Amino acid sequence: MEADNKLSILESSLKEAVIENSGIEDVESDAFSERFMELFERVREECEASSLQEYKEKAPDILADIREAGAGFEARSFERWKPSFDHLEMIWSIAQELGEMHGNAIQTENGEDNNAVMAALAHIFPRALLVSQEIICLLKGGFPDGALARWRSLHELAVTAMYIAKHGEAAAVPYLLSFHFAARRAAHQMNEHSERAKIGRFSREELKEFDARCAGAEEILGRKIEKDKYGEWPAITRTHTNFAAIEKDVEMDHWRPLFKWASTHTHAHHRPIDKLLGMAEAGKEAHLVGASNSGFVDPFQMTAITLAQITTTYLFHGVNVDRMVHASIIFTLADQMSTIAIENERVTREAFESQKGQPESD
């Protein structure tokens, strides 16, 4: 009721005041609208200041309640999914350890300085670890749909790494150089909208620096980039100029349906409220606006598999028998993630159902 009053009490009060003071009862008439707006403009500033002050005064107590409830939810949700979190975070820690050792070996050999492929992979792999941690963080917070959307980025990193590993410098060099064209395009977009967006502009000298870096990249590529968007990844590759083509080239196109599914939460596509992962166990329809501890199975499975894929891709550039053994282990663990997450969901769901309707203990 209070929320309804906040969105109607001023309107109702002003209408009553206009009728009482002017005698005009036809609220649809031009005369009524004119008197209404005159009165509104007289009280608007005071009403806004009063409402703003009220929001600020109530905020500390409201936020304390929200944060206490959130911490309690996260603790209960983690307890429910602990076996799955333990397994995925174990995979992450192994991937991080193996990747760090592999990276150290590369640096010892000056591999990043002398090999564009190694430089690209050594850049992509840490990003994959970071994105994986972001997925884990979203799951701990109770946002499986956000985690799925973040998996989309992890998949892109994995497929890009596979493509570079397969095609060598022909893919690695354009990948590394693509940043310059994307940066110049972004700089011009920022300047175009700087006034309305209230952001700083790049100076002419700075724009010339962008041009110089792009000219240097074009010299390395041996061709002119007609439009900056043609210099962005993956358009710059010339052979496979979109992500779907790259997926197909590295035989990862069977992931496309899941990639498109993950994109539905990234973009503004219409999605019925019952299709959210967070609503997977809901008993009735509702608009989900906060955390949920349902629908974690797919993000757990997909993250584990993709993290294993990109870790193996990284390790296998310079493969030896040790790397083969550890790659096999990490894929075994990724395969186990599915069984663990599904069983985790089943057991906790059954425990919850069995407790429903039972009298509370004293």
- What pLDDT, in 10s, does the model give residues 166-180? 999 999 999 999 999
Judging by beta carbons within 10 Å of its beta carbon (0-12, 13-18, 19+), is residue 151 exposed, middle or buried?
buried
DSSP string, 150-203: HHHHHHHHHHHHHHHHHHTHHHHHHHHHHHHHHHHHHHHHHHHTHHHHT-PPPP
pLDDT of 184 over the 60 cut: yes
Tell whether omega for the bond before 60 is within 30 degrees of 0, i.e. cis.
no
The winner for highest mean pLDDT among 20-34, 109-123, 244-258 is 244-258
Residues contacting 224, CB < 8 A, separation 6+: 218
Residue 125 vs residue 358, higher pLDDT: 125
Whole-number Å distance between alpha carbons of 172 and 234: 11
Instruction: Using alpha carbons, list the distances in angstroms from residue 143 to 166, 302, 348.
Output: 35, 15, 18
Whole-number Å distance between alpha carbons of 177 and 232: 9
Per-residue model confidence (pLDDT) at position 48: 93
DSSP letter for 361, please: P
Per-residue model confidence (pLDDT) at position 1: 41
Residues contacting 198, CB < 8 A, separation 6+: none
As given in the structure block, the two tokens for residue 186 are: 């972004």
Per-residue model confidence (pLDDT) at position 98: 95
Q: What's the pTM value of the predicted model, to 2 decimals? A: 0.90
**Tokens 């591999």, located at residue:** 111
Residues making up the chain, counted from first to last: 362
Residue 22 vs residue 306, higher pLDDT: 306
Domain ranges of the chain: 83-279+288-355
* Average pLDDT score over residue span 262-279: 88
For 54, half-sphere exposure in the C-beta direction (CA atoms, 13 angstrom radius) is 7
The pLDDT tens digits of the residues spanning 193-206 come to 999 999 999 999 99
Whole-number Å distance between alpha carbons of 95 and 308: 8
Lowest mean pLDDT among 9-18, 211-220, 249-258, 303-312: 9-18
Q: CA geometry: angle at 323 spanning 320 and 325, to 5°? A: 110
Whole-number Å distance between alpha carbons of 144 and 294: 8
Whole-number Å distance between alpha carbons of 183 and 214: 9
Per-residue model confidence (pLDDT) at position 362: 44
Whole-number Å distance between alpha carbons of 313 and 334: 15
Lowest mean pLDDT among 75-89, 144-158, 311-325: 311-325
**Tokens 């790259």, located at residue:** 246
Q: CA geometry: angle at 219 spanning 217 and 223, to 5°? A: 95
- Cα first-last separation, the chain: 35
DSSP string, 88-148: HHHHHHHHHHHHHHHHHHHHHTTHHHH-HHHHHHHHHHHHHHHHHHHHHHHHHHT-HHHHH
- Contact call for residues 161 and 310 (beta carbons, < 8 A): yes
